[in-house]
Amino acid sequence: MPGLPDQYIDTRNRTTELCAPLLTEDYIPQAVEFTSPPKWHLAHTSWFFEKMILSKYLYKYRIFDDSYNALFNSYYNHMGDIFPRNIRGMMTRPSVEKVYQYRQHVDEAISKLLSVSYPDEVKELLILGINHEQQHQELLLTDLKYTLALNPTFPVYEANSNLINDENETSGWLNMSEGIYDIGHHSNGFSFDNESGRHKVFLHDFEISKSLSTNGEFIEFIADGGYENFHYWLDDGWAWVNKENITAPLYWFKKDGKWFYFTLAGLQPVNVNAIVSHVSYYEAAAFAAWKGYRLPTEFEWEAASSQLNWGKRWEWTGSAYLPYPGFKIASGAVGEYNGKFMINQMVLRGASVATAAGHSRNTYRNFFQPQSQWQFSGIRLAR
């Protein structure tokens, strides 16, 4: 495994590689409040290293620009004022060029810090910062896709970046026996605080699908009136479907009786054999009900994960995002990373085709609001 300096450099380089296909104009727009512009992701990840590490641990560190503290703070109230999230796309200044200068400034300072002895706390924060940037690499792609999809010309980000054309490699059902299972992170490797608090959970007999649900199956759900039959929907989901006029997964379009979807490689015909993507928890739960099944709990998913082929889609579970036994919010800004979001969110497990290499593990607890569709999210059924 590469040393910490190499891990840092590789991660930072990967972020800029993801931006290589972009035009200058692509860096700035913000489509909706829950997305952020590429320029903001580039700056915010640099801000994280500057504020969490450099300003505290590097002797005589020079802040690049004092105004960036508010501009590129995401939700850390400990760090002071926060620029309103819903208008990040209005931030035409600093320029894209200036943001890249900021990244270079931070990278040079981190390199200087790593060239001398530093406390274990710095190592822990650097590893957290690397994982934080890996999260933003995936968000950069999902946010960019949402923005590009609004363009009626369906622009191509990169010709080989369809990302959602992959198919299942296994089929059938996995039988899991009733018993007590250990849940939560337990190795010496990195994990987020929401994975800690390893504990025992009793599970009844259950079966979980070895494959993820496909586009073809979801088309059958649509054709059978799945979006029009309230029997399949949770009440909140039914209200969402009707209010937002949801009739298909995000990015799907019907032209001349055929389904197409927008990908990062442009508009393409829906591959009926590929794994469905960009569905909300509401849609996943309704599809499961239509099938006569359900979504697995996050505990069932983790108990079965060693025998499943996962990592192509974030998989919705039937579990609300709640703390594990003994969970405590850390002091300071780091404590704002996960704990305060443990309300009105559902847990997704696994990883996706857009997740950074080496960033996934079977205890990882991703979480989003149940109406969220813009992540590479899919469906695994249980019964």
Give the residue-averaged pLDDT of 161-175.
98
For the chain, the first-to-last Cα distance in angstroms comes to: 39
Give the residue-averaged pLDDT of 207-233.
98
Percentage of residues in the chain with pLDDT exceeding 70?
Answer: 100
Q: What domains can be seen in the chain, in order of their start residue?
A: 4-149 (1.20.120), 173-378 (3.90.1580.10)
Full-prediction pTM beyond 0.75?
Answer: yes
Distances (CA, A) of 188 to 84, 177, 196: 38, 28, 12
Buried b (16+ CB within 10 A) or exposed e, 338-357: beeeeeebbbbbbbbbbbbe
Give the pLDDT of residue 338: 86
Judging by DSSP bridges, how do beta strands 206-209 and 173-176 pair with one another?
A: antiparallel
Read off the tokens for 282.
Answer: 């509401």
CA nearest 45: which of 11, 17, 19, 82? Answer: 11
At 267-322, the pLDDT tens digits run: 999 999 999 999 999 999 999 999 999 999 999 999 999 999 999 999 999 999 99
Give the pLDDT of residue 366: 98
Give the residue-averaged pLDDT of 105-119.
95
At 7-17, the pLDDT tens digits run: 999 999 999 99
At 43-83, the pLDDT tens digits run: 999 999 999 999 999 999 999 999 999 999 999 988 899 99
pLDDT at 1 > cutoff 80? no
